[in-house]
Amino acid sequence: RKRTSLTDIPGPQPESFLIGNLAELHQEQAGEADFRYQAEYGGIARIKAPFGVDMLWLCDPKALQYIYQTSGYSFPKQPERRVLSGLMGDHGLTWADGETHRRQRKVMLPAFGSPEAKALLPVFEHYAEQVTLRWREIIEGSPDRMAVLNVIKLIAPATLDAIGEAAFDYKLGCMDDSDNELAQAYNSLVAGIFASPSKSRLFWTSVAHYLPMHVTEWLYAHLPGRGLDKARQNRRAAHKIARQLLDLKSEALLHSKGSRDVMSIIVKANTSEDAKTKLADDEMIAQMRTIMLAGQETSSNTLSFALYELAKNPRYQDRLRAEIQSMEHSVHERGGTTFTTSDFDSMPFLQAFVREVLRYHPAVPHNYRQAMKDDVLPLSKPIRTLSGKIVNEIPIPKGTRLTLSVAAYNREKDVWGEDAHLFNPERFLDFSGKRGPTVGVFANILTFSGGIRACIGWRLAVLELQAFLCQLVSNFEFGLTEELKRLRRENALVMVPTLEGEPEKGVQLPLRVSFAARC
C-alpha cells in the first residue's frame, strides 16, 4: 500500500499474483521480454514481483547513468541476488556491498589496470594456440577435413585454464584432463544451476528477500537439490585449490618472488593495507573463487556467440580474417611471431566486431538493484503515466526493487541507431561518438556494467576475446549447422547457448569448422 507512487507507471500485465512478471523475464530467451517492454513502454516500466509487489524495469540511459554512476552506493544489490552471488563466489566482490565492497575493491583494483592486463596477453595467446592445435587434430582426422564441433564445450576448459594462469599463475590443466576435479566443477556450471528455472524456483528465489540473508544462506548451504549440490561441489573444489594458491602466493611474496598474475598483485596490495582495511584469508579465497567464475563463464560464452555470428555472417567472417591475416604478414615482416596489443588496436574491424558482439550478446543480461532511500530517477525521454501526466522523472520510494536491463539498453535506438536490433559491426566503424549519457565502462556498452561496480576484469576480457578470435578466425572457417535453428540464448544469470528441447545437455553451440584459406 505504501508504494502508491509506482502504480501510475505503465507496464505489462503480470502472469499471476504469485509469480508476477518473473516467468517471462527469466524463462523466455534472454532479452525477449525486455525487447517487448522496450518497444511498448520505452525506457521504464512497472513490473510485478510475487504477491503483486511493484518493481521497476528500466533501460533508460539517463536513469541508468544515475543509478550506476551518479548515486554511489545508493542502489545496492538486492539481498536475494547477493545470496546467489555468495553461493557462487562466497563473500567476495560480487557479493559485497557498501563499505565492504569499497574496501575489497580497493585492494583488488591494482591488479586490473591497463599495463597489468597487457602483461597477461601471452597467456591468452598461449591458450588460444592450444585450442587451435586441438581443433587442427580433430579436423585433420575428419572426413572432408570438416568437423561439427560443440565449440563452447571446447572453449570453456581453455578459458578456465587461461584464467587460472592469468589470475593465479597456475596451470589448472582442465584442457588436458576433462576428468580433472576443477574442470568437472566448472563444467556447465551456471547453466547447470540457473538455466530453465521453474516457476516455483523463481518464486522462492524472489521471496527470499523477506528472510534475513543469513537464513537464506543457511538454506542454500543445506537444502537438497541438483543445482545446489553442483554449487556446493564447485565450492569444495575451488576452495581446495584457492587455499593452496593463497599459501603459495603469500610464501612467494615473503621471498620477494611475487609474479605478475592477478592474485600475486592482490596479495601484495593487501600487505600494504592496515589491519582495518586488509582482506582476511577467507575474503582472499572468496576473491579467487569470484574471479574464476566471473572471468570464465562470461568470456567463454561471449566468444562462442562471436563465432556463431561469424558463421551466420560470412561477409564479416571474410573481412575479419583478411584483416587478421594481413596483420600477421606485418608481424612476420617485423620479425615477430605474436600480436601485441597495439596490433589489435590497429585492426579496426576486429575492434568493431568485438564491440558489436559485446553489445548484441551481453553475457549478463540483467543487473538487480534496490533503492536505499526515497529517490528520484531522471529520464532521457518523458513518459505518459497511466493517469495521463507527462513526466521526465520518477520519484521512487525507499526499497523499490529495480531490474536494470543490460540487454535492452544495448538495443536502445536513440543510442545505437534505428538498426539497433541488427548485428552490424560496421556501426562501430563510422560511429560519431555521440550516444547520450555515459553509462557503460567500455564503448558505452552496458555489458560490463558501469560505475563503482563495473566489471573489474573488462580489460582482461577484451584482450582475451581479441587473442582467441585472432587465432581461431585466422586458422578456421566457421559455418552454421541445422541444430542452430534451435539455438536459445538461455538466461541462466549468465547468458548461455543451449538448444531448444535439449536442456539436459547443458551448453551447446555446434558449428561446422574447417581450415581457413590463407590470403
Q: Decide the pairing of beta strands 375-384 and 476-479.
A: unpaired
How many of the chain's residues bind ligand HEM (CB under 6 A)? 24
Residues 6+ apart with CB under 8 A from 458: 441, 442, 448
Which of 167, 174, 267, 286 touches ligand HEM by CB under 6 A? 167
Which of 155, 189, 208, 364 touches ligand HEM by CB under 6 A? 364
The answer to the question of whether 470 is labelled as a binding residue is no
Listed residue (238, 237, 272, 240) closest to 258, CA to CA = 272
- 242 part of the interface to ligand HEM, by CB under 6 A: no
Which of 63, 156, 193, 363 touches ligand HEM by CB under 6 A? 363
Residue closer to ligand HEM, measured from CB, 444 or 447: 447
Residue closer to ligand HEM, measured from CB, 383 or 507: 507
> What is the smallest separation between the CB atom of 1 and ligand HEM, expressed in angstroms?
30
- 449 part of the interface to ligand HEM, by CB under 6 A: yes
Residue closer to ligand HEM, measured from CB, 394 or 445: 445
- 159 part of the interface to ligand HEM, by CB under 6 A: no
- Calculate ∠ Cα 162-267-300, nearest 5°: 20
Structural contact between residues 407 and 34, judged by C-beta atoms closer than 8 angstroms: yes
Residue closer to ligand HEM, measured from CB, 109 or 252: 109
- Longest Cα–Cα distance of the chain, Å, equals 72
- 208 part of the interface to ligand HEM, by CB under 6 A: no
Listed residue (124, 182, 195, 117) closest to 155, CA to CA = 124
Report the SS3 class of residue 491: strand
> What is the smallest separation between the CB atom of 301 and ligand HEM, expressed in angstroms?
8
The pair phi, psi for residue 324, each rounded to 5°, is -65, -45
- 400 part of the interface to ligand HEM, by CB under 6 A: no
Q: How many CB atoms lie within 10 A of CB 391?
A: 14
Which segments of 172-311 are extended strands (E)? Answer: none
Q: Contacts with ligand HEM in 79-118 (CB under 6 A)?
A: 93-94, 105
Binding characters for ligand HEM, 249-288, by CB under 6 A (x = yes): ----------------------------------------
Stretch that binds ligand HEM, among 138-146, 331-339, 390-398, 445-453 (CB under 6 A): 445-453
Structural contact between residues 369 and 77, judged by C-beta atoms closer than 8 angstroms: yes
Structural contact between residues 478 and 508, judged by C-beta atoms closer than 8 angstroms: no
Residue closer to ligand HEM, measured from CB, 150 or 449: 449
Helix and strand numbers, DSSP H then E, in the chain:
22, 11
Q: How many CB atoms lie within 10 A of CB 16?
A: 15
Q: How far apart are CA 107 and CA 253, in angstroms?
A: 16
Residue closer to ligand HEM, measured from CB, 107 or 460: 460
- What is the 8-class DSSP label of residue 448? T
H helices present in 57-198, as ranges:
61-65, 79-89, 98-108, 114-119, 121-140, 151-168, 181-186, 189-194
> What is the smallest separation between the CB atom of 143 and ligand HEM, expressed in angstroms?
35
> What is the smallest separation between the CB atom of 304 and ligand HEM, expressed in angstroms?
11
297's enclosing H/E stretch is helix 297-312
Which of 128, 461, 495, 516 touches ligand HEM by CB under 6 A? 461
Structural contact between residues 337 and 376, judged by C-beta atoms closer than 8 angstroms: no
Listed residue (16, 82, 15) closest to 493, CA to CA = 82
Residue closer to ligand HEM, measured from CB, 234 or 367: 367
Binding characters for ligand HEM, 283-322, by CB under 6 A (x = yes): -------xx--xx--xx--x--------------------
Report the SS3 class of residue 442: strand
Structural contact between residues 485 and 288, judged by C-beta atoms closer than 8 angstroms: no
Stretch that binds ligand HEM, among 198-206, 370-378, 421-429, 456-464 (CB under 6 A): 456-464
Residue closer to ligand HEM, measured from CB, 291 or 379: 291
Stretch that binds ligand HEM, among 197-205, 211-219, 273-281, 360-368 (CB under 6 A): 360-368
- 447 part of the interface to ligand HEM, by CB under 6 A: yes
Residues 6+ apart with CB under 8 A from 205: 80, 84, 197
- 139 part of the interface to ligand HEM, by CB under 6 A: no
Which of 457, 497, 506, 510 touches ligand HEM by CB under 6 A? 457
> What is the smallest separation between the CB atom of 116 and ligand HEM, expressed in angstroms?
11
Residue closer to ligand HEM, measured from CB, 14 or 451: 451
Classify each residue of 350-368 as buried b or exposed e, where b means 16 or more C-beta atoms within 10 Å of its C-beta: bbbbbbbbbbbbbbbbbbb
Report the residue number whose CB is nearest to ligand HEM. 457
Stretch that binds ligand HEM, among 322-330, 415-423, 455-463, 470-478 (CB under 6 A): 455-463
Residue closer to ligand HEM, measured from CB, 98 or 336: 98
By the 10 Å C-beta count (0-12 exposed, 13-18 middle, 19+ buried), 429 is classed as middle
> What is the smallest separation between the CB atom of 187 and ligand HEM, expressed in angstroms?
19
Residue closer to ligand HEM, measured from CB, 94 or 150: 94
Bind-site residues for heme: 455
Q: Which residues are annotated as a binding site?
A: 455
Residues that bind ligand HEM (CB under 6 A): 93-94, 105, 163, 167, 290-291, 294-295, 298-299, 302, 363-364, 367, 447-449, 453, 455-457, 460-461
